[in-house]
Amino acid sequence: MDIKDLKEYLGEDWKAVQNCITDSLDSDISLLNSTNESILSNSGKQLRPLLSLVMARACSCGAAANEATVRYAAASELLHNATLLHDDVADDSDQRRGVPTIRSLMGPSVSVLVGDYWLVKAMELILGDADSDVKVIRIFSKTLSDLAEGEMLQLQKAQSGDTDEHDYLRIIYNKTASLFEAACVTAAVSVGAAQVQQDAARDYAVALGLAFQIKDDILDYAGTASVGKPLGVDILEQKITIPLLGALAAVPAEEQGKIRLMIKDIVGHPEYRDEIVDFVKRNGGLDYAVRRLDEYVEKACAALEVFPDSKEKAFLKELAAFTARRKM
């Protein structure tokens, strides 16, 4: 599927979300405005607000987005970008999506401050002008907690070098899937969807979010420069992801221990990266990761069966398939 075509299909709803994002970020400080415009010009696929709008329509027989749906969809994008601005500081990232980060151009303090600004503006949208839905506030609050816990667990595991698949899935749920979950479930809530549909929206979004991150982690071993970063960045950051876990499971404990020690020592020995990438490819790590990816894509599609057939339901299935096929 073509993301551009989906945005065109959403028409005025998509324009309303874009206007909501830009209006919420407007400031009388020119430096802040120019920085925000720079971020928006490199905003990627904007998958979370897309999912939000399509899910809302799937839950409401294709009805146009209401004011709450637009706000929650926009908030999901603001919150996503806030976390990226903070992550770039935590990871010392110089590039994102192939262009220099705010951290590299203006320094870590500016990146954190702008990230905080986007975060506050997201919360303002979630709260709205009238009385807010307490359920929605709790969903987004949980996501913020998940994001912080995921980052800290990832840092802890980078130091210990003992990440297993349970740890990995918790990290990627917290750091990625939880925001997919918030975008889809709050969309369902915004249109008064029945609880069975809210639950299905959650199951779909969590499975899709896990699949999305697994695909990212596969691309770190098998991608190209189009991803916007060189191969093996996760290794250099001491992150043990699903391709490496798959390869480790295929070798004796002694060899597992050797590779895990290399990960722990890689800060002082970046030359280990190529050896670890080769280890993953030789021991079936990528094939294992692809199988796990396919499992989560299937779970996402299965969760949609509670919804009546519609263009929106078909689009949600296509978005799941797109996650597995994407090259960046």
DSSP SS3 for 99: strand
Q: Mind listing the pLDDT tens digit for each residue in 137-184? A: 999 999 999 999 999 999 999 999 999 999 999 999 999 999 999 999
What architecture is domain 3-325? Orthogonal Bundle (1.10)
User: Considering only CA atoms, which of 132, 142, 211, 212 is closest in space to residue 182?
Assistant: 142
Q: What are phi and psi of 233, to 5 degrees?
A: -65, -40
Can you say how many angstroms the Cα of residue 244 is from the centroid of all Cα atoms in its chain?
20
61: pLDDT strictly greater than 70: yes
Q: Mind listing the pLDDT tens digit for each residue in 23-57? A: 999 999 999 999 999 999 888 889 999 999 999 99
pTM to 2 decimal places: 0.93
The pLDDT score that the predictor gives to residue 226 is 46
The Cα angle at residue 326 between residues 320 and 328, in degrees rounded to 5: 130
What is the per-residue DSSP string for 55-84?
HHHHHTTTPPP-HHHHHHHHHHHHHHHHHH
